[in-house]
């Protein structure tokens, strides 16, 4: 299994031998080495994994979204990243997609695994893939809304459970802990990457639509 970013660099929890992911180290890699703008996400509520610390009592992505600061604060500045995670060492790392950073295509985990299998059998190269408990995110090259619109218009059917994270969107990066569970790499960036390679969105969407159609997952899912 490929190495998960940050797994070797961990902080000892106080009072026991349990180890905690080094979120600061991960955030610095994303921001300073890869030049991906990041910011801390809101932490899960200590009352339970299904609760969020944000004011929304019906939050559907507990601990897996930005709140304070807001998404527009995402940065690659080392000093800001250090300040954030020094003060909030367990905060999830949120990537602001689009612009200089990759975009993402997300779909339910089972369909995503099928999509990866389709891409592998076709001999198509896949970039980093993020696995959350219920949904996976395939990182792709930045795209415009016009490009995405033309791509989807050419499809006879686009399942509602397929989601796109472009300019103004976000995804949570490994090794974050959210209210729904741990976020990990299903396909990790190659160790030592100056900046991870990501594919064009077209090939990923073709495989994702095919996988969702075959699994029958057409309605929106969390």
Task: Measure the CA–CA gap between 78 and 163, rounded to whole angstroms.
Answer: 31
Q: ∠ CA 113-212-165 to the nearest 5 degrees?
A: 80
**Orientation angle between helical segments 201-215 and 145-153, nearest 10 degrees:** 40
Annotated domain spans of the chain: 10-215
Is residue 34 within 8 Å of 195, Cβ to Cβ? yes
The CB-based long-range contact list for 12-18 (8 Å cut-off, 24+ gap) reads none
Say what the pTM is: 0.84
Structure tokens at 21: 């992911």
The reported pLDDT for the residue numbered 182 is: 92
The reported pLDDT for the residue numbered 53 is: 81
Residue numbers of the chain with a pLDDT score lower than 70: 1-20, 44-50, 193, 215-222
The reported pLDDT for the residue numbered 47 is: 64
The reported pLDDT for the residue numbered 49 is: 56
Q: How far is CA 162 from CA 53, 104, 218, in A?
A: 27, 11, 8
Among candidates 191, 173, 192, 193, which has minimal Cα distance to 183? 173
Task: Measure the CA–CA gap between 185 and 202, rounded to whole angstroms.
Answer: 22
Is residue 221 within 8 Å of 134, Cβ to Cβ? yes
The reported pLDDT for the residue numbered 138 is: 96
The reported pLDDT for the residue numbered 6 is: 37
């Amino acid at each position: 299994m490929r190495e998960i970013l940050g797994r070797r660099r961990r902080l000892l929890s106080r009072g026991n031998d349990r180890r905690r992911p080094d979120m600061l180290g991960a955030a610095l890699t994303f921001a300073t080495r890869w030049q991906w703008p990041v910011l801390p996400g809101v932490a899960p509520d200590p009352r339970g994994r299904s609760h969020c610390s944000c004011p929304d009592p019906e939050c559907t992505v507990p601990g897996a979204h930005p709140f304070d600061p807001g998404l527009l604060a995402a940065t690659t500045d080392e000093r800001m990243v250090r300040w954030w995670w020094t003060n909030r060492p367990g905060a999830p790392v949120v990537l602001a997609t689009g612009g200089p950073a990759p975009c993402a295509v997300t779909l339910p985990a089972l369909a995503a695994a099928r999509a990866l299998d389709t891409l592998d059998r076709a001999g198509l190269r896949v970039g980093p893939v993020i696995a959350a408990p219920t949904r996976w995110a395939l990182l792709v090259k930045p795209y415009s809304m016009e490009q995405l619109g033309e791509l989807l218009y050419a499809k006879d059917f686009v399942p509602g459970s397929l989601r796109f994270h472009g300019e103004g969107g976000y995804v949570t990066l490994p090794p974050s802990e959210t209210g729904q569970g741990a976020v990990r790499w299903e396909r990790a960036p190659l160790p030592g990457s100056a900046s991870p390679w990501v594919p064009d969105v077209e090939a990923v969407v073709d495989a994702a639509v095919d996988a969702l159609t075959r699994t029958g997952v057409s309605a929106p899912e969390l």
